Amino acid sequence: MDVSKHRLLYTRAIFIVGGERMITNDDFELFRNLIEAADKTADGHLTVMKFTTNWRVSFATPDDRDTIAAMHVGKTFAEAAQKALNEAHSR
């Protein structure tokens, strides 16, 4: 993957909110894989949303509640991301 075309700096970092680890190093790897899949299958489109009770991931740009409801959902970022990657790999 040509990382130079992305403005995202791939790094190993830990995001901690309220004493809870929110994003793990494995999550960063999943995010990198999501970007690669978005570039290959969705013209670069990728949406990641964090809600109170879940995460949602999609290779589209949501424009209303129905498209948000149709996104891949998981209790964790990793769960939602893996569902989206499974779909991308099945295309």
Q: For residue 1, what are the CA distances in angstroms to 4, 5, 68?
A: 9, 9, 29
Cα separation, 39 vs 28, in Å, equals 17
Place of tokens 């700096």: 9
Residue 3, pLDDT score: 46
Q: Which domain holds residue 21?
A: 3-90
- Count structural domains, the chain: 1
pTM as predicted: 0.76
pLDDT of residue 61 exceeding 60, the answer is yes
Q: What pLDDT does residue 4 have?
A: 47
Give the Å distances, CA to CA, from 51 to 23, 44, 47, 76, 88: 14, 23, 13, 10, 23
